[in-house]
Chain A
């Protein structure tokens, strides 16, 4: 029996090594469309590589922003800094509650925010989190954190990407990769914000969109609730916000009210799509159906400052 177990272990190790060798060959030499279950993407327009490296160096902030691309493209930390608040934007492309939960677990004690502004985009509650997980796995320099992300997403592509990413980080110096400060129309602003040079809406924002519904994924909702519990346990104020999107996009969903009540049940929630004081021009304040241009960001952030004052949250931060 002992001999059998030894043999199984030996073969297992040998098979694992062969698997890794083929994974490297495929990843290094074959075109990406051939690598079905391997999606390594070091550096992306979302700047997660730079953001995570910067997050590791920051110790304390007043406001922490969490959420999807609406977050890192929507909350300009410079505007909040002008108002006297140190902020960090930890948003990432397609960030689902699973990734938010892991980011919070990793950075909450380090950043010690007085307020968390958590942008909740229902679409991210529908997804499995693979794309966002891969973004973090590819761009995090912490193997443990990357593995936690792979484990939570629990998809063969996430595991393959984790293995390949780990090998590349140590054998091919991807650990020292530095993202370009400007990628196409985007550039990274210290503190996690990504500013776009796009000036007008490039989508057909007036075109009608067929009716549909948000369908919340239970796994994502559980991760979301766990994150909220973490804030509550640490006594950290938080505000759930829904960022503004084009009207045709927003009203194409028929169960917005149902989703809104779900969020309201969890904590303080503000939906900027129903805010009549936020006057956004769909041609010049958005560059697609749900991302703001810099003029839109300014209007949105100034209105957010007013909202957190109206809700009494601002005093909470100032008095701490």
Chain B
């Protein structure tokens, strides 16, 4: 197996799972197929970067890449961050854990009433 192959497999696997989620998240099979139809026949398929909402997906994409790297670097361990930075200096390890803690605090999804007056 060449070095490139595992990454290609991860990418294909990621695409397949994402595609399957359409069926799991849809209200019905009909709406799932409708969604797929729109993906195929929408002009946005040609250039997804023209979607105005793309900026909201930027963060998700960055986080996905970050977590894939973390998972990949610890693929031989039971837990993703079990031995991460174990050979590094303690402050670096604590900064990393602090960053993970921060990501949880900043991006954890907790339900709240919609904002009416605040525009972000």
| Alpha-carbon distance A245/B75, docked complex (angstroms) | 60
B94 contacts the other chain (Cβ, under 8 Å)?
A: yes
Stretch with Cβ within 8 A of A (4 or more), from B2-10, B30-38, B41-49, B108-116? B108-116
Whether A18 and B102, one on each chain, are in contact in the complex, defined by CB atoms closer than 8 angstroms, is yes
Is the beta-carbon distance between B102 and A127 smaller than 8 angstroms? no
Q: Which of A11, A19, A44, A126 is in CB contact (< 8 Å) with B105?
A: A19
Q: Which of A11, A23, A69, A130 contacts B112 (CB 8 A)?
A: A130
Q: Which residues of B lie under 8 Å from residue A19 when comparing CB positions?
A: 98, 101-102, 105
A34 x B118 contact (CB < 8 A): no
Q: With the chains together, A46 CA to B59 CA distance in Å?
A: 31
Is A298 interfacial (CB 8 A cutoff)?
Answer: no
Query: B79 on the interface (CB 8 Å rule)?
Result: no
Do B116 and A37 touch across chains, with their CB atoms under 8 A apart? no
Classify the secondary structure of A's interface with B. helix
B contacts with A: majority SS: helix
| Given A39-B120, A94-B116, also A33-B55 (CB < 8 A) | yes
Question: Given A33-B55, A37-B107, A160-B106, A15 and B98 touching (CB < 8 A)?
Answer: yes
Flag if B112 contacts A36 (CB, 8 Å): no
Contacts of A33 in B (CB 8 A): 55-56, 120
Q: Given A18-B102, A19-B98, A46–B56 Cβ distance below 8 Å?
A: no
Contact of B113 among A18, A23, A130, A156 (CB under 8 A): A130
A-B contact count (CB 8 A): 85
Please tell me if B99 contacts chain A, counting CB pairs below 8 Å: yes
Q: B99 contacts A18, CB within 8 Å?
A: yes
User: Distance in Å from the Cβ of B50 to the closest Cβ of chain A?
Assistant: 18
Residue of B nearest to A41 (CB): B118
Q: Tell me if A26 counts as interface (CB < 8 A to partner B).
A: yes
B98 and A35 contact, CB distance less than 8 A: no
Are B56 and A69 in touch, CB under 8 angstroms?
no
CB distance from A137 to the nearest CB of B (A): 12
Q: Does B97 contact A (CB under 8 A)?
A: yes
Are the CB atoms of B112 and A157 closer together than 8 Å? yes
Interface string of A126-169 (1 = CB under 8 A from B): 11111100110000000000000000000111011000000000
User: When chains A and B are docked, how far (Å) is the Cα of A93 from the Cα of B52?
Assistant: 29
Which residues of chain A are within 8 angstroms of B58 by Cβ–Cβ distance?
A: 34
Q: Using a CB-CB cutoff of 8 Å, which residues 81-100 of chain A contact chain B?
A: 93-94
Give Cα A202 to B94, complex, Å: 54
- If A94-B116, A94-B117 touch, whether A15 touches B101 (CB-CB below 8 Å) is yes
The reply to whether the CB of B17 lies closer than 8 angstroms to some CB of chain A is: no
Do A38 and B106 have beta carbons less than 8 Å apart? yes
Q: Distance in Å from the Cβ of A184 to the closest Cβ of chain B?
A: 12
For A109, list chain B residues within 8 Å (CB). none
A36, A129, A155, most chain B CB atoms within 10 A: A36
Q: Is B16 an interface residue (CB 8 A)?
A: no
For the complex with contacts A18-B94, A18-B102, 20 further pairs of A-B residues with Cβ separation under 8 Å are: A14-B91, A14-B98, A15-B94, A17-B98, A18-B101, A23-B102, A26-B106, A36-B107, A38-B106, A39-B115, A39-B118, A45-B117, A94-B117, A126-B113, A129-B113, A130-B113, A131-B113, A155-B112, A160-B105, A160-B106
- Some 27 contacts from A to B, beta carbons below 8 A apart, are A14-B94, A18-B94, A18-B98, A18-B101, A19-B98, A19-B101, A19-B105, A26-B102, A26-B106, A32-B120, A33-B55, A33-B120, A35-B106, A37-B105, A37-B108, A37-B110, A39-B120, A41-B118, A44-B117, A93-B117, A94-B116, A126-B113, A129-B113, A131-B113, A131-B118, A155-B112, A156-B105
